[in-house]
Amino acid sequence: MSNIKHNIEEVVGHTPILELDGLERKEQLDAHILVKLESLNPLGSLKDRIAVAMIDALERDTDIKPGDTIVEFSSGNTAIGLAAIAAKRGYKMIAYMVQATQERVKLLEAYGATIRDMSKDNGVLEAMSNLPEDGDSAQALVDLFKRRSEEEGINYYLTVQSSNEANRLVQYNTTGQEIIADVDQVDVLIAGVGSGGSITGVSDALREKFPNLEVVAFEPTDDDTESLVGVHSISQTPRAMFPQIILRKNKLPYDRIIKVNKEDAYRMSNKVAKTDGIFLGITAGAAMHVAATLAKQDEYKGKTFVMFGYDDVLKYLSSELVDKKYASEE
């Protein structure tokens, strides 16, 4: 019986988990370092899952129709996923970029997305700058584009990943459940915050199975907020700009935050390329660095760490990630 897929969306998810045996041997780690290879999704990242889920939610909850325009604010991966699925379903896509490599821009263009620089959109800047301390940036953007729809006669539909419950739910229902099915024990989940969907949805799922789970979030050091593309600041983000997915919860999804600098993240991605034969992106490098650092501490001996391989090196070939200085063993 054939097992042929006829829809790219059928290929999203069910990604494998790889134990970094080579890294464990190299670093002499008495722990299990597991990476869920979200880079093997068809559009190359963890965000493939939420792209499908958020467009499904638009089709379920709004009157969107082919020819209408989806808008998202993204450093790249979410926008790429949305652009591809939007094109397939007949929608237009506008991506407001914050940080993006050349490769991500090229991919967006290939999928037909319109790319806009958020820093040059006065309406967006005004909406964000006028937020009160307890304001909601997602709602401010929704209101702005509702007005633009009326003024311009274009039907804009915002997905706003940081506020979209479909983001959290798909991570709970798919990513989290896949980890539970594949791993007998998870002691530590290591994740970036970003839009809040993966760290919240997956931790919710894992805590139900592993009540003693520790969740460690990571963020860039103060000097690396621009260079660590995809690794988002947590502690310095104003409440009004913080992911609503997290603010709606009674408790933060993470137990503590660890800062990562770009040298450590870049070197770890390069190191794992040699020890285990897979070259992951910057955010995954940061996560793997945190795992290896913790695994050397006595209290984490024998523990099982799980993290996401958010994307791979192919989206960073124009960045410092592939600089030879980070590939050295020193």
Q: What is the per-residue pLDDT across 208-233, written as a single tens digit (0 to 9) for each?
A: 999 999 999 999 998 877 777 778 88
Rounded (5°) CA angle 294-289-271: 130
97-117: average pLDDT: 90
* pLDDT the model gives residue 165: 97
Task: Give the confidence band of 114 by pLDDT, cuts at 50, 70, 90.
Answer: very high
For 8-51, how does the pLDDT look when each residue is reduced to its tens digit (9 = 90+)? Answer: 999 999 999 999 999 999 999 999 999 999 999 999 999 999 99
Does residue 99 carry a pLDDT above 70?
Answer: no
Does residue 7 carry a pLDDT above 70?
Answer: yes
Does residue 148 carry a pLDDT above 90?
Answer: yes
C-alpha to C-alpha distance for 216 and 307, rounded to whole angstroms: 10
User: Which residues neighbour 182 within 8 Å (Cβ) at sequence distance 6 or greater?
Assistant: 16, 17
Q: What is the mean pLDDT of the chain?
A: 94
* pLDDT the model gives residue 143: 94
* pLDDT the model gives residue 191: 97
Residue 319: burial class (beta carbons within 10 Å; 0-12, 13-18, 19+): middle
* pLDDT the model gives residue 216: 98
The larger pLDDT score, comparing residue 1 to residue 72, is at 72
* pLDDT the model gives residue 132: 85
Residue 297: burial class (beta carbons within 10 Å; 0-12, 13-18, 19+): exposed
Q: What are phi and psi of 222, to 5 degrees?
A: -60, -30
Residue 8: burial class (beta carbons within 10 Å; 0-12, 13-18, 19+): middle
* pLDDT the model gives residue 2: 85
* pLDDT the model gives residue 1: 62
The least confident of 55-59, 93-97, 177-181 is 93-97
pTM listed for this prediction: 0.95
* pLDDT the model gives residue 329: 67
Does residue 163 carry a pLDDT above 90?
Answer: yes
Task: Give the confidence band of 101 by pLDDT, cuts at 50, 70, 90.
Answer: confident
280-301: average pLDDT: 97
Torsion of CA 305, 310, 314, 319, to 10 degrees: -90
For 291-314, how does the pLDDT look when each residue is reduced to its tens digit (9 = 90+)? Answer: 999 999 999 999 999 999 999 999
Task: Give the confidence band of 134 by pLDDT, cuts at 50, 70, 90.
Answer: confident
Does residue 330 carry a pLDDT above 60?
Answer: no
Does residue 72 carry a pLDDT above 60?
Answer: yes
C-alpha to C-alpha distance for 238 and 245, rounded to whole angstroms: 15
User: Which residues neighbour 303 within 8 Å (Cβ) at sequence distance 6 or greater?
Assistant: 31, 32, 187, 188, 295
